[in-house]
A and B are shown apart, each in its own frame.
Chain A
Amino acid sequence: AQSVTQLGSHVSVSEGALVLLRCNYSSSVPPYLFWYVQYPNQGLQLLLKYTTGATLVKGINGFEAEFKKSETSFHLTKPSAHMSDAAEYFCAVSEFNNNDMRFGAGTRLTVKP
């Protein structure tokens, strides 16, 4: 079955600095990959997704992620962090023949002023 590993349970950056959240996946078939954000006491909101086509995917709030098949990675980046980006971020994977979506353990992003 497909799975996701998120490296780093907690990432702290200064406001204006680069944000890099790491995600590696395992899948026996071409994967579909997602990044979700969760603010306190709220459900998950989709940031971006990769299905097919262009490997660099742009999402909401200035985030983007690049699918690298050779590295089985789908890291999330944002050039300049904002205080409002502080939240929990989850990487998820599903497979083209199966709606079964599996999540990583999450990375908590802290943004320092």
Chain B
Amino acid sequence: EAGVAQSPRYKIIEKRQSVAFWCNPISGHATLYWYQQILGQGPKLLIQFQNNGVVDDSQLPKDRFSAERLKGVDSTLKIQPAKLEDSAVYLCASSAQGASTEAFFGQGTRLTVV
């Protein structure tokens, strides 16, 4: 089966610019996650969707970050405006419904803010 697809793989922007990342989860997976992974750290959950509804966005910096999941399938994560500390790898993952099911990860988007 096809895995989680993310694009772009790499992005370099200047601070205060905006950027968007796209994720296509595994077909049929109800749960979609966006994680931020700063160099040398573990992934930090930014937002979790169940179908097209938000389950947890407690760690999403809502003044600059936004995310949506259209029709419960694809998702986009946007940063506007970007700051230097947003430089990180943004990982998208999906899982079937149920907490015991593992998450499948995409390859991530490496964002560099200069």
Contact = CB atoms under 8 A, between A and B. Distances in A.
Given A51-B100, A94-B99, A43 B105 contact: yes
Contacts, number: 67
Interface stretch (B14-22, B37-45, B69-77): B37-45
A43 B108 contact: yes
Interface in A20-46: 32, 34, 36, 41-46
Interface in B55-109: 55-56, 91, 93, 95, 97-100, 102-108
B7 interface: no
B24 interface: no
Interface in B1-22: 4
B95 A100 contact: no
Contacts of B107: 41-43
A32 B100 contact: yes
Contacts of B48: 99-100
B50 interface: yes
Interface of B: 4, 31, 33, 35, 40-45, 48, 50, 55-56, 91, 93, 95, 97-100, 102-108, 110
Given A51-B100, A101-B45, 19 more contacts: A6-B42, A34-B102, A42-B108, A43-B108, A44-B93, A44-B105, A45-B105, A46-B102, A46-B103, A46-B104, A90-B43, A94-B99, A99-B95, A99-B97, A100-B55, A102-B45, A103-B44, A105-B41, A106-B41
